């Protein structure tokens, strides 16, 4: 699929984030243009577009993707504009007393998603992709690779739909309806994997990063994660067995983060710079990884 060239004179920027910039159309308020950073390859954005369209076509609540586009330097897509939308993160920033309510809604919305069988011919296995990434990662010592791959192999071989990045800012509400956004990591696998990023960022993310991207501090993020987990899993959430499963899920995500980026300092932890990689791994994975 060839990207359509867009004329930025027809668009007005309204904000940017870690991965790109968003625009309103000056004549049509029903669409939004999202352009990613120039260093993100065309193939990656095309895959995100194809997957986002497939998710929408499955009837999963999400913005409809219309076109795969480029401005000549960056690649992105034109998608449906959901009027009056608010993310759960922004709502909690204005109304902290609603944190537990929205965490419970997130759990129920996630459970509904996880009840949907995924098309394995379009989407990839989250477990296999993560396993391959860790196995090939030159930055992880072999004994840690073996430990993390063992954790992955313990997961259920499920084909249920996974969002890939469930967090308070990837659910939006508008006119009483809920929608998933940021579907580039949509895949299939054990539903536990959809808790990995929330677990990882809640316990290890520094406050400046959490406030910037999720409008919540670490204490709020941990509370959101815990309430969401209890709503989703019920009493089993607090059992030692399940806590150990979630610790391993967090470790998998931490290992993936180290493989995805040159160093752990990518998440805005400047005090890690100059330290040995093993120190970074211990911080991210927990000291028990080496026991």
Q: Which two tokens stand for residue 225?
A: 């994660």
Cα–Cα distance for residue pair 178/148, rounded to 1 Å: 34
SS3 194: helix
pLDDT digits (tens, 9 = 90+) for 57-74: 999 999 999 999 999 999
How many CA atoms within 13 Å lie on the side-chain side of 72? 3
The DSSP bridge pattern shows strands 65-70 and 4-5 to be: parallel
Paired with 31 in beta bridges are 80
Q: What is the pTM of this model?
A: 0.82
pLDDT digits (tens, 9 = 90+) for 197-216: 888 888 877 787 788 888 99
pLDDT digits (tens, 9 = 90+) for 72-104: 999 999 999 999 999 999 999 999 999 999 999
Cα–Cα distance for residue pair 250/284, rounded to 1 Å: 9
Q: Which domains does the chain have, with CATH numbers?
A: 4-80 (3.30.200.20), 86-290 (3.90.1200.10)
């Amino acid at each position: 699929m060839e990207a359509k060239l867009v004329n930025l004179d027809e668009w007005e920027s309204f904000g940017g984030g870690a991965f790109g910039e968003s625009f309103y159309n000056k004549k049509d308020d029903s669409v939004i243009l999202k352009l990613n950073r120039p260093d993100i390859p065309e193939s990656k954005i095309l895959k995100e577009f194809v997957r986002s369209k497939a998710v929408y076509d499955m009837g999963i609540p999400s913005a409809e993707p219309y076109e795969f586009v480029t401005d000549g330097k960056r690649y992105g897509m034109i998608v449906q504009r959901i009027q009056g939308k608010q993310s759960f993160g922004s709502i909690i920033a204005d109304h902290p007393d609603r944190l537990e309510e929205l965490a419970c809604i997130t759990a129920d919305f996630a459970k509904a998603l996880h009840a949907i069988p995924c098309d394995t011919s379009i989407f990839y296995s989250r477990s296999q992709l993560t396993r391959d990434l860790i196995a090939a990662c030159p930055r992880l010592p072999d004994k840690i690779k073996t430990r993390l791959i063992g954790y992955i192999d313990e997961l259920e071989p499920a084909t249920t739909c996974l969002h890939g990045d469930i967090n308070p800012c990837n659910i939006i509400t508008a006119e009483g309806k809920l929608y998933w956004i940021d579907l580039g990591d949509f895949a299939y696998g054990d539903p536990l994997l959809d808790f990995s990023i929330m677990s990882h960022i809640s316990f290890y993310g520094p406050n400046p990063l959490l406030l910037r991207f999720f409008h919540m501090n670490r204490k709020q993020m941990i509370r959101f994660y815990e309430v969401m987990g209890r709503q989703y899993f019920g009493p089993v959430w607090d059992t030692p067995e399940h806590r150990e499963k979630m610790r391993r899920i967090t470790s998998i995500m931490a290992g993936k983060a180290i493989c995805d980026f040159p160093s752990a300092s990518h998440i805005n932890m400047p005090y890690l710079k100059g330290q040995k990689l093993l120190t970074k791994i211990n911080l991210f994975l927990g000291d028990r990884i080496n026991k």
